[in-house]
Structure 1
Amino acid sequence: MTLTRLGCAGWSINREAAASFPAHGSHLERYARVFNAVEINSSFYRPHQAKTYERWADSVPDDFRFAVKLPRSITHDARLNDIDALLGRFAGEAGTLGAKLGCILVQLPPSLTLDAAAAQHLFERLHIHFNCMLACEARHATWFSDAATALLQQHRITRVIADPPAGQAGPHVPTTEQAYVRLHGSPKIYYSAYDEAYLQQVAQWLAARDCWCIFDNTAAGAAIHNTLALQTMQQR
Structure 2
Amino acid sequence: MNNDSPIFLGTAGWSLPREHWAAFASEGSQLQRYAGRFAAVEINSSFYRPHRPATYAKWAESVPAAFRFCVKVPKQITHERRLVDCDELLARFLSECGELGEKLGCLLLQLPPSLALDPASAARFVEALRARHEGPVVIEPRHRSWLDAETLLQQARIARVAADPAPFAEAARPGGWTGFRYYRLHGSPRIYYSAYGGDRLASLTERLVEAPKGVDTWCIFDNTASGAAVADALHMQRLLSAHWQAVEKLPTLPLLR
Q: What TM-score, normalized by structure 1, do the two folds share?
A: 0.96
Greater CA drift, 158-167 or 173-182: 173-182
Structure 2: where are the runs of 5+ without partners?
243-257
Query: What SS does structure 1 have at the residue aligned with 2:161?
Result: strand
Structure 1: where are the runs of 5+ without partners?
none
Once the two structures are TM-superposed, the CA of residue 112 in structure 1 deviates from its matched residue by: 0.1
Residue correspondences, number: 234
Alignment equivalent of 2:224, drawn from 201, 218, 221:
218
Q: Which residue of 1 aligns with 2:180?
A: 178
Identity of aligned residues (%): 51
Runs of 4+ in structure 1 displaced over 6 angstroms? Answer: none
CA distance in 2, matches of 1:167, 1:112: 14
Contact persistence 1:10–1:38 (CA under 8 A): yes
Once the two structures are TM-superposed, the CA of residue 154 in structure 1 deviates from its matched residue by: 1.4
Describe the superposition over 1:200-233 as per-residue Cα deviations: whole angstroms up to 9, x where unpaired: 0111111121310000000000000000000000
What is the identity, as a one-letter code, of the residue corresponding to 2:159? Answer: T
CA distance in 2, matches of 1:5, 1:181: 10
Distance 1:103-1:4 versus aligned 2 partners, 3 A rule: same
Alignment equivalent of 2:11, drawn from 8, 12, 15:
8
Greater CA drift, 164-173 or 127-136: 164-173
What is the identity, as a one-letter code, of the residue corresponding to 1:39? Answer: E
Alignment equivalent of 1:232, drawn from 207, 213, 238:
238
Greater CA drift, 121-130 or 182-191: 121-130
Once the two structures are TM-superposed, the CA of residue 132 in structure 1 deviates from its matched residue by: 1.7
Q: What TM-score, normalized by structure 2, do the two folds share?
A: 0.89
Between 1 and 2, higher relative CO (CA 8 Å, sep ≥ 6) is seen in 2
CA distance in 1, matches of 2:237, 2:134: 28
Output aligned runs, 1:46-85, within 5 Å: 46-85=49-88
Aligned-residue CA RMSD (Å):
1.1
Once the two structures are TM-superposed, the CA of residue 169 in structure 1 deviates from its matched residue by: 5.4
Contact persistence 1:10–1:41 (CA under 8 A): yes
Distance 1:169-1:149 versus aligned 2 partners, 3 A rule: closer
Query: What SS does structure 1 have at the residue aligned with 2:106?
Result: strand
